[in-house]
Amino acid sequence: MIVKKLEVGPIMANCYMLGCESTKEAVVIDPGDDADRILMALAKAGLKVKYLINTHGHFDHVGANKRMKEVTGAELAIHPDDEPMLKELSRSAMMFGLSAENSPPADIHLNDGDEISFGEITLTVIHTPGHSKGGICLYTKGYLFAGDTLFAGSIGRTDLNGGDYDTLISSIKEKLLVLEPDTVVYTGHGPETTIANEKRMNPFLR
């Protein structure tokens, strides 16, 4: 699987472009901002986007939905509990002194256990509420795209609307730490880590 990462927007959210090496079909996970940079990276890699996937509805992870959908024609996917946030992005960003375009509505609702495929690759949806009600992670053997659920040495914040600390800790321990220890965790902000590292070192999970 092709994995490319860009840090986008003023909050430096990680946007991931995943591609099937055989077919060049791709998904973009969390197009938070800087649509033109994302599009340029996709073109350079020769990837055709099938889906835009939002791990949750916060503006720094979905702010480029509108332009990405207009240019690529890809279907937009998010958990139904976070879809209402998509029409509130401008207001949400303004609260942080920033700006964002409201997103089109989702074409696809992703629930726990659903699968989404591109080329020869299939991602499994893991619903991990706690950072937001509809937060999801995306898993395929060896790879976990964790959004703002789990970070290297930390966890997602729980003080925003829909957040809950105990729920987040339960999501991580019950649904993520049971994955293979060598699974690489691609986080929503900051560097990659592994399940083994977080079980051993993350102070929030001891």
Encode pLDDT of 4-14 as tens digits.
999 999 999 99
Give tens-digit pLDDT for 92-139: 999 899 989 999 999 999 999 999 999 999 999 999 999 999 999 999
- Structure confidence at residue 90 (pLDDT): 92
The edge-to-edge listing of strands for the beta sheet with 121-127 is 115-118, 121-127, 136-140, 143-147, 184-187, 193-194
| Inter-axis angle of helices 65-72 and 35-45, nearest 10 | 40
Distances (CA, A) of 202 to 61, 155, 173, 197, 199: 24, 9, 12, 7, 6
- The pLDDT value recorded for residue 206 is 85
Average pLDDT over residues 18-31: 98
Which fold does the domain 2-205 belong to in CATH? Metallo-beta-lactamase; Chain A (3.60.15)
The residue-averaged pLDDT of 145-158 equals 98
Q: What is the pLDDT of residues 47-73, one digit of tens each?
A: 999 999 999 999 999 999 999 999 999
Q: Report how far residue 51's alpha carbon sits from residue 70's, in angstroms, rounded to the nearest whole number.
A: 12
Percentage with pLDDT > 70 across the chain: 100
Taking the C-alpha atoms of residue 141 and residue 119, their distance in angstroms, rounded to an integer, is 16
* Whether pLDDT at 161 is above 90: no
Q: For the chain, what is the mean pLDDT?
A: 97
Residue carrying the six token digits 């965790």: 185
pTM recorded for the entire structure = 0.96
- The residues spanned by each domain of the chain are 2-205
Number of residues in the chain: 206
Alpha-carbon separation of residue 21 from 2, 15, 146, 175, 195 (angstroms): 6, 19, 22, 28, 25
Contact 27, 1 (CB under 8 A): no
